Amino acid sequence: MKHLNEFEDLNYTRMDNKIKKTAIAAAKKAGKFALGEYKNFDRRTIKLKTRHDIVTKADLASEKIIINTIKKNFPEHRILSEEAGQTKNKSDYLWIIDPIDGTTNFSMHNPLWSISIALAFKQEIVLGVIYAPCPDELFIAEKGKGVKLNNKKIKVSKVKAGKVLNAFCHSSRKKDIQKAIKYFSYQKLHGLDCRQMGSAAIELAYIACGRIESIVIPGANSWDVAAGALMVREAGGIVTDFSGNPWKIDSADIAASNGLAHKDILNIIKRI
């Protein structure tokens, strides 16, 4: 963990195993519950948070499972979650949670949704867990230790320009949607393809394991991308903001790629 000093590194390492077990247990437990709800979900029960954003009872129940699991093991840690917001206690550790990333997919019985859990130590992501219950795929990234899919090490693809598969997502804000539409339009006309899969966490995990090459997200929320950002980096990719600076928890936008496609996607962002 090259950005932590020697004492801080040791402090985190002492809790490393317990932290990872807690994150995996929380993701798996929430995923098992959500999968049961997904199989018989009635879309009439959804509630609108904004015109473009929904929440379900499954989101709230999954969130409660994850938060309770973390608090049981690390009551002093801070927690930031999509639905519940951020706790007010003071700690160098911050858990960043999306209880169901891809809620719209979940509501329409599309299997591309996931549970996303990240842990930041002094604002730097040190652990990322993404669990996709439908295909039963568990992605785990640890800072400085690489990333695994179902316990097998993974790497970004070596696909270069001309064969790059791009993805995009956006916040619910109008300006971010407009940016995303412009990006999609340009890539769809000039690139091989550009798709919105509906779960930023899965899309980032897919870059990490080489299934796609890039994603661009105007207005990215940290709970959507924190775990996946670490995965892309640990798999050998690049993660920045739209100006090309290293992505941080408080960055407004995110661009992630296998590295080989990064210069091109940043140039397209500037062009549009």
* Domain boundary assignment for the chain: 6-153, 165-271
Judge whether 207 and 108 are in contact, CB under 8 Å.
no
* Residue 213 · residue 157 · CB < 8 Å: yes
Q: Cβ(171)–Cβ(220) under 8 Å?
A: yes
* CATH class given for the domain over 165-271: alpha beta
**Which residues does residue 55 pair with via DSSP β-bridges, in sequence order?**
47
Q: How confident is the model over 237-266, as a mean pLDDT?
A: 97
DSSP 33-58: HHHHHHHT--GGG-EEEETTEEE-HH
Report the share of the chain in percent with pLDDT over 70: 94
The CATH number that domain 6-153 falls under is 3.30.540.10
Residues 65-89: tens digit of each pLDDT = 999 999 999 999 999 998 878 888 8
What is the full DSSP assignment across 173-237? SHHHHHHHHHHHHHHHHHSSEEE--S-HHHHHHHHHTTS--EEEETT--HHHHHHHHHHHHHTT-
- What are the tokens at 11? 């402090």
Q: What integer pLDDT is reported at residue 11 of this predicted model?
A: 54
Q: In the predicted model, is pLDDT for residue 10 greater than 80?
A: no
4: pLDDT confidence band, cut at 50, 70 and 90? very low
> Is-contact 100 111, C-beta < 8 A?
no
Q: What's the mean per-residue pLDDT of the chain?
A: 92
Residue 1: pLDDT over 60: no
Residue in 102, 125, 140 with CA at minimum distance from that of residue 22: 140
- Band (161; pLDDT cuts 50, 70, 90): confident
Q: What helix, strand, coil percent values describe the chain, rounded to 5?
A: 40, 25, 35
End-to-end C-alpha distance for the chain, whole angstroms: 37
Report the length, in residues, of the chain.
272
In three-state secondary structure terms, 170 is coil
Q: 167 pLDDT exceeds 80?
A: yes
Chain position carrying tokens 């109008």: 174
- Supply the pLDDT for residue 84: 78
Whether residue 5 is predicted with pLDDT greater than 60 in this model: the reply is no
15 band by pLDDT with thresholds 50, 70 and 90: low
